């Protein structure tokens, strides 16, 4: 199972060029990476956000493939 990880806000607004690559390496999935990136974008550039904690939520099987849902939580000062 994948491990939780954090991303500093400073890497997100504007997105650091390696951010997508780093998230992809952690999740192992392009679809999950896109979903996490969209979630971060929805938070916008709120200056009170220090980092995003990203955690695997659950796993299930779709057609024999194990899928993991991820949650993105903004940690504020």
pLDDT at 65: 65
Other beta carbons within 10 angstroms of residue 39's beta carbon come to: 16
**Does pLDDT of 71 surpass 90?**
yes
Average pLDDT over residues 51-71: 81
**Does pLDDT of 64 surpass 80?**
no
- Do 46 and 77 touch, CB atoms closer than 8 A? no
The strand pair at 49-62 and 65-76 is best described as antiparallel
Q: What is the pTM of this model?
A: 0.86
Residue among 70, 71, 52 nearest 7 (CA): 52
User: Which has more confidence, 58 or 14?
Assistant: 14
pLDDT digits (tens, 9 = 90+) for 16-56: 889 999 999 999 999 999 999 999 999 988 999 999 999 99
- Do 32 and 75 touch, CB atoms closer than 8 A? no
């Amino acid at each position: 199972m994948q491990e939780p990880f954090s991303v500093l806000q400073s890497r997100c607004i504007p997105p650091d060029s390696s951010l997508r690559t780093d998230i992809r390496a952690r999740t192992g999935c392009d679809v999950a990476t896109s979903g996490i990136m969209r979630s971060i974008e929805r938070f916008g550039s709120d200056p009170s956000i220090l980092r995003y904690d990203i955690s695997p939520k659950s796993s299930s099987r779709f057609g024999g493939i194990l899928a993991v849902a991820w949650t993105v939580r903004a940690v504020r000062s």
